[in-house]
A and B are shown apart, each in its own frame.
Chain A
Amino acid sequence: MSEHEYVPKSKAAKWFNDRLPLLTLGAHLTDYPTPKNLNYWWTFGGILTFCLITQIVTGIVLAMHYVAHADLAFGSVEHIMRNVNYGWLIRYIHSNGASMFFLAVYIHIFRSLFYGSYKSPREIIWILGLLIYLLMMAAAFLGYVLPWGQMSFWGATVITNLFSAIPLVGESITTWLWGAYSVDNPTLNRFFSLHYLFPFLILGLVVLHIWALHIPGNNNPVGIDIKKPSKDTVPFHPYITIKDAFALLMFMIIFAGFVFFSPNILGHSDNYIPANPLVTPAHIVPEWYLLPFYAILRSVPDKLGGVILMFSAIFILFVLPWLDTSKVRSAVFRPIYRQFFWILVIDVLMLGYVGAMPAEGVYLVLARVGTIYYFLHFIVVMPVVGYLEKTDPIPMSISEPVITGGAEPSLARKLNEKV
């Protein structure tokens, strides 16, 4: 994407680069022209990369000490906590790291929703991102099963049983997933294997996600196409690297707060009770980051219907770029859509809350209302608002905030000189 061709300085570097252009790639990454008006919501891509690497590194160390066996798994986790040097730290980083990963990914996704980053020409980036998100949920679910506590076991039972809702072949598929006639040792073994595999699949998709991003370049808060490189852009290094580093450090402070001072607050106390197939916990709840989908699942009285709706809630996001009819990307200039955006945020938070509550009474009503609104937002609000809405005037560039059909160009220049 670099506009100018990179030429290595030394002969040896040139020899190498002619055969494998890693240096060209490096130069591209450092020079990569980035909109200079990116705000802090744009720092979560870097933060997510950090989260992934952290999970992989801590996970590899944990796997050196963990034993994937129904009789030994719980004890091996306690062994890590008590006898492995800094095992408690590594495990708490890994378990809280999953939560921090999802916190960051949700901010990242809603950032994209607000600024229209999924819109043309960035549809493939968006779809790759959703695939990453799907794999993240799968990896997190698999990982939560590994300590083989009560919530591990019963969570695995509930989720794998969802597949039994599939007509005709459902029961067979569930048995095939378990490798047994219930969640048992074979299930734990394959879950461990897959839990180790998925992060590397995610890593591969992340490379594609970034590659796809570097074709059109970043969207930006104004949401307009910009010329690259130009007055509107800065080289990725050092401008964006230092800003990402600053944001990452702030994120790490919160992360460390959880790890060192409240490492179990995001988990469920029942998972410190060893798995017992004969005792069902009073309330089976997934981890907080899956709760909105759990609420959607339980809002439907029919099992198959619930499963279909839950998966639809994610798959509908794949066609989002084509459901959104607006010609304007950024919600900054979309006064009506902007309000619906915040209603959606509240709706998803509410679904998360009722997902943690028993599926009865007022919670069930809220879950149903929330579910209906969730789908309405994407199927009705997005196409209709995009079509009808009168958007605010849009600047022609980032540096020169000339409003189309608006303010006088000379005024804009004057304002610019002041800055």
Chain B
Amino acid sequence: MKKFNTIINNIITILFLTTGSLHSAETTDPIKVDWSFKGITGTFDRASLQRGFQVYKEVCSSCHSMQYLSYRNLGEPGGPEFTEAEVKAIAASFEVTDGPDNQGEMFTRPGRPSDIFVSPHPNKEAAAAANGGAYPPDMSVLVKARKGGANYIYSVLVGYEDPPPDVKLDQGVYYNKYMIGNKIKMPNNLVDGLVEYADGTESTVDQMAKDVTTFLAWAAEPELEERHRTGVKVIIYLILLTILVYLSMKKIWSRIDTEV
């Protein structure tokens, strides 16, 4: 698929004779990562998804919601594929507000796999208020909602730097060379060894950034593996059918004196 994108980009470039970049000069292009889910047969790295979920749960989820995901998704094929027992345990580790009960009262209970991911804040306004006025975006489709996709998300996570001397930052604003405009209100939350991976992988900043980006890529496109698999089958089927129809066409048109 990367190739296909490149071809399309090339066609556009050739057609319009342009090499100019649309970005403002100061923003650096995202780092290109060779993700396992790229390409027409790309799949997610299961272990990376599970580690990524751990990073999300222990770090990101204190500010960012993922309201379009349910805990059951974590056990579904093509995702992190936690076992049924693990999914139940993960869900149960969250307190879910339910109700009203037959007394008209809301109550809390342990989460179930069918529940959607519990949001850290009751609403957008509360989320913004708790974060210096900047609403931490819901991360369900974040990878699809940013130009550059997974590369961009990963780059921002590892792109924190000390600002150049000419850049003045307000309180609660951080310098990030990949962020558009270079200013971001999310602090650099990743430090080496921040989480203790269950599978023993060393939790470097780079590793955690890659894992959580992989997790977010899956969250945005949980159908990706099935889509790729189905796509290959559909295209092979269409090509075979096209050949058959082509041969039939040649045979039918051979009855008359015109080439087809």
Question: Please, how many residues of chain B have a CB less than 8 angstroms from a CB on the other chain?
Answer: 46
Assembly CA distance A259 to B73 (angstroms): 23
Verify if B47 is at the interface (C-beta below 8 Å from A): no
Q: How many Å from the CB of B30 to the closest CB on chain A?
A: 13
Given A238-B252, A239-B252, A252-B238, does the pair A264, B1 have CB atoms closer than 8 Å? Answer: no
Verify if A253 is at the interface (C-beta below 8 Å from B): yes
Assembly CA distance A17 to B245 (angstroms): 33
Contact A246 B4, beta carbon cutoff 8 Å: no
Q: List, in ascending order, chain A residues with CB within 8 A of B4's CB.
A: 257, 261-262
Contact A260 B228, beta carbon cutoff 8 Å: yes
Verify if A243 is at the interface (C-beta below 8 Å from B): yes
Assembly CA distance A81 to B73 (angstroms): 13
Given A82-B222, A261-B4, does the pair A249, B238 have CB atoms closer than 8 Å? Answer: yes
Q: List, in ascending order, chain B residues with CB within 8 A of A261's CB.
A: 1, 4, 40, 228, 231
Contact A260 B145, beta carbon cutoff 8 Å: no
Binds A, one of B83-91, B136-144, B155-163: B136-144
Given A246-B246, A260-B227, does the pair A253, B258 have CB atoms closer than 8 Å? Answer: no
User: Can you show 17 pairs from A to B with CB atoms below 8 A apart?
Assistant: A36-B258, A75-B68, A88-B223, A89-B227, A238-B252, A239-B253, A242-B253, A245-B249, A246-B245, A249-B238, A257-B235, A260-B227, A260-B235, A269-B146, A270-B145, A272-B141, A349-B15
| A-B pairs, 8 with minimum CB distance | A260-B231, A272-B145, A249-B242, A88-B223, A272-B144, A78-B68, A353-B16, A242-B249
Verify if A234 is at the interface (C-beta below 8 Å from B): yes
Contact A249 B245, beta carbon cutoff 8 Å: yes
Q: How many Å from the CB of A344 to the closest CB on chain B?
A: 15
Per a CB cutoff under 8 Å, which of B1, B73, B144, B241 touches A249? B241
Assembly CA distance A37 to B18 (angstroms): 39
Q: How many Å from the CB of A298 to the closest CB on chain B?
A: 17
Q: How many Å from the CB of A250 to the closest CB on chain B?
A: 6
Contact B16 A256, beta carbon cutoff 8 Å: no
Verify if A419 is at the interface (C-beta below 8 Å from B): yes
Residue of A nearest to B148 (CB): A269
Q: List, in ascending order, chain A residues with CB within 8 A of B253's CB.
A: 239, 242-243
Q: List, in ascending order, chain A residues with CB within 8 A of B228's CB.
A: 260-261
Assembly CA distance A263 to B1 (angstroms): 11
Contact A273 B231, beta carbon cutoff 8 Å: no
Per a CB cutoff under 8 Å, which of A89, A246, A260 touches B249? A246
Q: 1/0 per residue A391-405: CB within 8 Å of B?
A: 000000001000000
Q: List, in ascending order, chain B residues with CB within 8 A of A243's CB.
A: 249, 253, 260
Verify if A265 is at the interface (C-beta below 8 Å from B): yes
Q: How many Å from the CB of B229 to the closest CB on chain A?
A: 9
Residue of B nearest to A356 (CB): B22
Verify if A109 is at the interface (C-beta below 8 Å from B): no
Q: 1/0 per residue B235-260: CB within 8 Å of A?
A: 10011011001101100110011101
Contact B242 A253, beta carbon cutoff 8 Å: yes
Most buried by A among B222, B223, B232, B239: B223
Verify if A350 is at the interface (C-beta below 8 Å from B): yes
Residue of A nearest to B232 (CB): A260
Per a CB cutoff under 8 Å, which of B5, B73, B222, B248 touches A262? B5
Q: List, in ascending order, chain A residues with CB within 8 A of B62's CB.
A: none
Residue of A nearest to B146 (CB): A269
Q: How many Å from the CB of B155 to the closest CB on chain A?
A: 15
Q: List, in ascending order, chain A residues with CB within 8 A of B257's CB.
A: 399, 416, 419
Q: List, in ascending order, chain A residues with CB within 8 A of B242's CB.
A: 246, 249-250, 253
Most buried by B among A242, A252, A350: A242
Q: List, in ascending order, chain B residues with CB within 8 A of A238's CB.
A: 252
Verify if B8 is at the interface (C-beta below 8 Å from A): yes
Given A75-B68, A249-B242, does the pair A242, B248 have CB atoms closer than 8 Å? Answer: yes
Q: 1/0 per residue A205-242: CB within 8 Å of B?
A: 00000000000000000000000000000100011001
Residue of A nearest to B73 (CB): A82
Contact A242 B245, beta carbon cutoff 8 Å: yes
Q: List, in ascending order, chain A residues with CB within 8 A of B1's CB.
A: 261-262
Q: List, in ascending order, chain A residues with CB within 8 A of B246's CB.
A: 246
Assembly CA distance A399 to B258 (angstroms): 9
Per a CB cutoff under 8 Å, which of A256, A265, A353, A357 touches B231? A256
Q: How many Å from the CB of B231 to the closest CB on chain A?
A: 3
Contact A273 B137, beta carbon cutoff 8 Å: yes
Assembly CA distance A243 to B247 (angstroms): 11
Q: List, in ascending order, chain A residues with CB within 8 A of B168's CB.
A: none
Contact B231 A81, beta carbon cutoff 8 Å: no
Q: List, in ascending order, chain B residues with CB within 8 A of A270's CB.
A: 145
Verify if B25 is at the interface (C-beta below 8 Å from A): no
Assembly CA distance A260 to B73 (angstroms): 21
Assembly CA distance A242 to B8 (angstroms): 30
Assembly CA distance A214 to B147 (angstroms): 48
